[in-house]
Structure 1
Amino acid sequence: MGFTHLNENGRAHMVEVGDKNDTKRTAIAKGKIKMKKGTIKKIKEGVIKKGDVLSVAQIGGIMGAKKTSDIIPMCHNIPITGANIKFNILDDCIEIEAEVKTVGKTGVEMEALNAVSITALTIYDMCKSVDKDMIISDIMLIKKTGGKSGTYLRGNKMAKKGKVVAVNISEKKGVPKKSIEEGFFKEGHGLVGDAHAGKWHRQVSLLGVESVEKMKKLGIKGLCSGKFAENLTTEGIYLHELSVGTKLKIGETIQEISQIGKECHSGCAIAKEVGKCIMPKEGIFTRVIKGGKIKVGDTIEVLEDKK
């Protein structure tokens, strides 16, 4: 077996990538830092003595992505075209997501992973005076695109295929939907009989049970399919990790993602009823480009990911 990072003399060397084609490449990594609830509260209130924790950590993460080749042996110095850090603040931890982009001959997986790591370490450094028990964990690559190997999604087959766990409908907007066994989704319209259907770009709404579980962990009671006004409750695909233009085969239908997330209107009925709405962040919306029936248990397949 040959080792790619050793030369003919068995010594370390940097792999030659000059013959590879330049392609658009992205990488998304995630991780989290667990801490005391009191520390979370201080971060939210902006009373940590060192300053604005998340602003500093965000800058640190981006710098980490840019400096990856300085600290990872044999890692190429890659011209990064974009880097972004996002936070999800929960009761006892802060989830971190880093997305890094480039146009080049090799990928930016290490840059995304390093960005998450440095972001978490910066949070620790900013808060260690009040909480030395913080734990950094679950740093992982979620997705990469571009290059010879193409698209990778964590979970592989599971990430490309899922299933429908509920079909939901309502006659009015702004209210939770009721579950039905099956529905007919009309081309260019959406679920027949649903208030959100029509000739516009958000004909069908989808939300994963994985997102609903996040809300349950926050202590929100009484959650079930349709509570967030989604037409389809799904399982097995990270919906919000896909991109606009991606085509999905769902039951007899083919749908195209038209929007990821949405603006959360202040005081909306859904948020008032369930306490907090996850749809604005992790819900997706589609147009129906081939109509047909969808029933509980139907397969969802990612036909083409545009990202």
Structure 2
Amino acid sequence: MEQQSIKMVINRCAVVCAVMFMILAGIAGCGSGEEKTVEKKDTDLIPGNWVYYKNRTYVLIVIDMKGTWKSSVRIADVTSKIVDSRGMASGIWNLDAGQLILTVGESDIEDVWKKDSTIFYKVLELNEHLMVLEGESGRKEEWKKATPQPGKGAIDPVNPIVAMAPYAVNLDKHSSNVQDRYLCLSMHLQLLELMPDQPVPQLHPRARDAAIMYLSSLTYDDVSDFDRIKVQAEKVKDILNPYMEGLIKEVVIDHVVVALSAAKVEEFIIEHTAKPAQKETPADGKEGEAGKDQTGKEANKETPGAA
């Protein structure tokens, strides 16, 4: 009996020891897993939108996870504004033993990417923001990661849009017998192509005042049809450009209405103002406030055209 009791105690001890070992092993495994830092591999860091700058020339390259890349070149003047955008190139890429290998398939910028060539770069430094490469000649290149604009490819021409609050002004009239009319405009500015990371200039408050002064000087005949409205849009562009560093490419008229009452003006402003908090007071003649000189007549509106 004593021997059986001793065996039972030994068996129980063995079971307890085994269980304890498994528990300790599990804890050790969990601990090591928590302490382990998961780092991105170089193959995960390479894909992205990269920019290399030298001598007022920006080389942009988009490297994707699928093993392909595309590139374009932009040239800036001394003020860092775009003066030229030229060429496209594309090909495949591979990362092997610390070397970035770019094979050029198509290219119309052969002074940068020669067609059917293979370029070998030694990767000296690589992180989420910077890629330092050394070419076969020993020249080092620092590529910085760029953030693509929403809805735009990083190598495509980027023409930012500057939204504007709606305008409403009293049209000028030759005599007091002419009926009051209000010109209501919803428009936005399309800018010239900007350099990577070049900030979009803010519309100066005086720019709006200058536009109101000009629009208030127009008569109904100046905006009575589509072609005349296009002419006025070009003139508004010339007026606003000095306030926007000369970067306005086009003034785009989204909606235009000639209203016969202040009530219709208010409807237009409400309809075309993105947020009520940003609502601006429409203009009255040369002063910039709508609603004065209200005739009280039943409102009508004529839509001469929209661009």
TM-score by length of 2: 0.23
Structure with greater Cα Rg: 2
The higher relative CO (CA closer than 8 Å, separation ≥ 6) is in 1
